[in-house]
Structure 1
Amino acid sequence: MLFAERGIDAPLDDLAARAGVGAGTVYRHFANRDALIRELYDASVADLHELAPQILGAETGWRSIELYLELLAGWLAESPYVPAVMRRVAELDPTHRPGVEFAEVIDGMVARAQAEGSLRADVTAVDLSVLVDMLGSLGQYGGAYLPFWRRQLTVVLDGLRARPGNSPISGDGQAFGDFHDMSHAKGPSHPQG
């Protein structure tokens, strides 16, 4: 996709040409670039909803964790423009926050895996979400690295497993709503202190 190659500010005329349609067709469907960006964002949220039954319906809590990281990080690695789309929508409409609806679901998935003793007791839903972002960021290297990203997935999953002698994770985790807002913010933010 053009946005994956050239970013979300790539010319819409180039997008139309890549799609094999006239520029007028693009503009008839999307009043402007912001409307297209919003549509991409909403389509991304819909993709997450489609993955949820497979992830949450896994036979064990640990398998849910594996699927969550594998499916979401893989999806993000193949769609490296998504973080820019998230940031742009946050600029356009800071009140549009459908991602926070997943907080309770991910918390439940974490609790299930921890209750069965397979996931470290000190891991949070935000920890998993950050790991998805980290693994998904491997898409920035383009398609050449996509066949190899599961190596890092294996390392991450091994670090999440509950086992005697795990090093404790320092400090308290971030609240999911704060993580959501931060991950949708433009550029890095630093805590006020």
Structure 2
Amino acid sequence: MSLDEHRVRPKRRDAALNNERLVRAAREVFAEQGLSATLEDIARHAGIGVGTVYRNFSSKKAIVESLYDAAIDSALAEAQSALEIDDPWLAIVAFFEITAANQARDRGLCETFLGTDGFGPNERVAEKLVGVLSPLFDRAHAAGVLRDGVSVTDIGPIFAMLNSVYHTSDDHPDLWRRYLALMLDGLRASDRPALPVPAMDATAFARALTTRT
């Protein structure tokens, strides 16, 4: 092996370690502070210079997209596991609880889903949300346990409302569970009057998600 090869390999290992440390730090910083965190915050948390951040990612947007495309896919996979629950209503409850818990402990994930600070889902993610979750809602309607008129596209406004209580107070980190329970009660089939206006269709849902960025 040549001297040059000896020099290149350690540099590559160092670069890989820096990248790994940077990605981990970014995920932790965004989870705690949300998407308002800066590249300087990430560099400080990672214990590296901000120049190293720029050598790995061209911008904060590049970091966010790298992290949360995968994170949203992972969250969808967890939500899809709710279909394995035999009881259709408990499956709906599990989906909302799993998703809300993920968002409550990760501000960055929540803000990415909601389209905050110029970041948000693209049309591919919006279409995937509808495609993955529609069977869950369809099954609950077929079983007669979901209120007439409730649609998979209602999840956007519901999670937006929950976002207002996720981080209301450090003294009440689980306060969101109270309001999720109230919302779920409103989603369950009952003798309530029909909903006053229809839900968004899939096209309007995608537009609503992607135009908030």
TM bucket, shorter chain: 0.7 to 0.9
Equivalent of 2:90 in 56, 59, 63: 63
In structure 2, the residue corresponding to 1:81 is in which secondary structure? helix
Task: Tell me which stretches of 4 or more aligned residues in structure 1 moved more than 4 Å.
Answer: 4-7
Matched, 1:108 2:117: no
Give the distance between the partners of 1:148 and 1:72, measured in 2 at CA.
15
How far did 1:124 drift?
Answer: 0.8
1:127 aligns with 2:154: yes
* Distance in 1 between residues matched to 2:171 and 2:51, nearest whole Å: 34
Give me the whole-angstrom Cα distance separating, in 1, the residues matched to 2:134 and 2:184.
Answer: 17
Structure 2 length-normalised TM: 0.73
1:151 aligned partner, one-letter code: R
| 1:147 to 1:95, Cα distance in 2 relative to 1, 3 A | closer
Change (3 A) 1:65 1:136: farther
Matched, 1:184 2:210: yes
* Other structure's SS at 2:174 match: helix
Taking the aligned partners of 1:9 and 1:132, their CA distance within structure 2 comes to 20
2:188 maps to 1:161 = yes
Shift of 1:117: 1.4
Asked if 2 retains the 8 angstrom alpha-carbon contact of 1:110 and 1:125, the reply is yes
1:75–1:136 Cα contact (<8 Å) kept: no
Gaps of 5+ in 1: 188-193
Q: Distance in 2 between matches of 1:100 and 1:143?
A: 35
CA positional deviation for 1:54? 2.1
**Contact 2:32–2:106 (CA<8 Å) still a contact in 1?**
no
Q: Percent identity?
A: 30
Deviation per residue, 1:119-166 (Å, 9 max, x gap): 112211112332133223422425443222111111111111112x21
Secondary structure at the counterpart of residue 34 of structure 1: helix
- Do the aligned partners of 1:83 and 1:184 also contact (CA within 8 Å) in 2? no
* 3-state DSSP of counterpart to 1:71: helix
- Cα 1:160–1:7 change in 2 (3 A) is closer
Are the equivalent residues in 1 in contact too, given 2:140–2:146 (CA < 8 A)? Answer: yes
When the two structures are superposed, what TM-score results if normalisation uses the length of structure 1?
0.79
The letter of the residue matching 1:171 is V
Deviations 1:8-38 (A, max 9, x none): 3433122111133332442333122221121
- Determine the C-alpha separation between the residues in 1 that align with 2:157 and 2:50: 37
Larger displacement relative to structure 2 (119-128 or 2-11):
2-11
2:144 corresponds to which residue?
117
**Retained in 2: the 8 A contact 1:118–1:162?**
yes
More moved, 40-49 vs 55-64: 40-49
Q: Which amino acid aligns with 1:178?
A: A
Between the aligned partners of 2:76 and 2:49, the Cα distance in structure 1 is: 32
Report if the CA contact (8 A) 2:165-2:175 is conserved: no
Relative contact order higher in (CA < 8 Å, ≥ 6 apart): 1
Cα deviation for residue 179 of structure 1 reads: 1.8
* 5, 8, 12: which one aligns with 2:39: 12
